[in-house]
Structure 1
């Protein structure tokens, strides 16, 4: 039996994981990057997504690092593939 695990995904207090009006220019919707901003500065995000050194080593980093443990695949929404991740919180 397959298993699905959701890790390091942010939801707003009203249950949304992205802002309104998603498109290729705003893959997380208008204002959506702010919702996930906690992760952009972490050592894990900088290394795995941006290919850069450095980053935070706080509680957010510990959570981000755990989210990558035993991951076989990432499933992303359709607009994420049109976005250069190096532009996110560079």
Structure 2
């Protein structure tokens, strides 16, 4: 069964970027520490990354995040989604206006201009098609940014929340759950590694 999984790294004080994020500084000041686990040699970190990306049938992201990953300092063969770990899933971008061109033209991009719910629905269709083709269950991953994930949680679009809690206090930046709609969660797993604490919750 295809699940909708919100997956994001967050600081101990609840930020998904450091202060002053922007086109040339996507994660903000100090924000690189949030993703140390994704580049770690810790075997458990590697396993979690491999298993998560291996189940990704489609990935949803917002326009600001797309502009960062498709920008000149963005993804490449070594730093893209699941780079060196799995194949490349379909990517669905929520935007009011599709870009005129795409640098990462070898990736499968879909731009949805009719809102987040339609983007998640389109991603589910892509993931279910990929599941049928591969013969295994694949999920939709909401990779961010923070506002997209908060909006998806508020709208009841998320089945599973996966947080990678980095051992850093950023003090400011982009908050994840500020002013979020109250919602009950059920803890599914807690895995501590040398670089992060990986938390998984079922969203009720």
TM-score range, shorter chain: 0.5 to 0.7
1:10 and 1:35 in contact (8 A); partners too:
yes
* Correspondence for 1:18: 17
Compare relative contact order (CA 8 Å, sep 6+) and give the higher one, 1 or 2.
2
Per-residue deviation at 1:57?
5.7
**Alignment map for 1:1-90 (pairs within 5 Å):** 3-7=3-7, 9-41=8-40, 56=41, 58-76=43-61, 77-78=65-66, 79-82=68-71, 83-86=73-76
Question: What are structure 1's unaligned runs of at least 5 residues?
Answer: 42-55
Rounded Cα–Cα distance in structure 1 between residues aligned with 2:27 and 2:60: 14
TM-score, normalised by the number of residues in structure 1: 0.61
3-state SS of 1:62 partner: helix
Structure 1 residues 31-73: Cα deviation after superposition (integer angstroms, max 9, x where no partner):
11111111124xxxxxxxxxxxxxx361110111121132122
Per-residue deviation at 1:20?
1.4
Per-residue deviation at 1:24?
1.1
Judging by fraction of residues, say which structure has more helix: 1
- The structure with the largest alpha-carbon Rg is 2
Aligned pairs, number: 72
Rounded Cα–Cα distance in structure 2 between residues aligned with 1:38 and 1:75: 21
Question: What are structure 2's unaligned runs of at least 5 residues?
Answer: 80-204
CA RMSD of aligned residues (A): 2.5
